[in-house]
Amino acid sequence: MMSNRGADNSADDVIVVDADDQPLGTMGKLLAHQRGVRHRAISVIVRDRHNRLLLQQRSAEKYHSGGLWTNTCCSHPRPGEDTREAAGRRLKQEMGFTCPLTHLFTTHYRADVPGGLIEDEVVHVFGGRFDGLPDPDPSEVADWCWRTPDELARDIDAQPERYTVWFREYLRRFWPAMTGA
């Protein structure tokens, strides 16, 4: 068991940002989601040598969107933490591996999420390649799978409610960057 696995990050502060992603201060993560305050976030999308995407099903214990399928991992950088470093840290904590990460895109979205919360995030999305078996932290991840872009597109079209709102937004707006299409 890795020492940083299972670490409770629910009390972490997030970086509150303006429309240009300039820091304005910090706020508790849950409070930012309760109030719908714009803050910085990170997401990681990992593919293997066959161009399959590594998805995770969020643990039912997550404070929102539990049980939904999403990209490989997502979280928030800590105050003073570089976004790429945060992405690598969370990839290791959530999925149990590391790989080189490349910035794919930055996007902003605002949406209601389960639990009566609001996501208003400027998200720095990173991509990586990994061909091994993940070793996810069960307090973060209920399940995982590799999906081809075609399988993923068909399933999201048929059952969008099974996927997180942010992942559906990434797919809608950035499909080629995410899938190598």
CATH number of residue 101's parent domain: 3.90.79.10
Residue 109 falls within a domain, yes or no? yes
pLDDT of residue 54: 97
pLDDT of residue 10: 59
| Gyration radius of the chain's alpha carbons | 15
**Total tally of structural domains belonging to the chain:** 1
The whole-angstrom separation of Cα 15 and Cα 80 is 9
Residue 162 falls within a domain, yes or no? yes
Residue 169 falls within a domain, yes or no? yes
Do the Cβ atoms of 71 and 41 come closer than 8 Å? Answer: no
Residue 8 falls within a domain, yes or no? no
Give the structural domain span for 142.
13-175
Residue 46 falls within a domain, yes or no? yes
The whole-angstrom separation of Cα 55 and Cα 117 is 23
Residue 131 falls within a domain, yes or no? yes
Residue 7 falls within a domain, yes or no? no
Q: Which residue ranges of the chain lie beneath pLDDT 70?
A: 1-11, 177, 179-181
Do the Cβ atoms of 121 and 113 come closer than 8 Å? Answer: no
Catalytic residue annotation: 74, 121
Residue 181 falls within a domain, yes or no? no
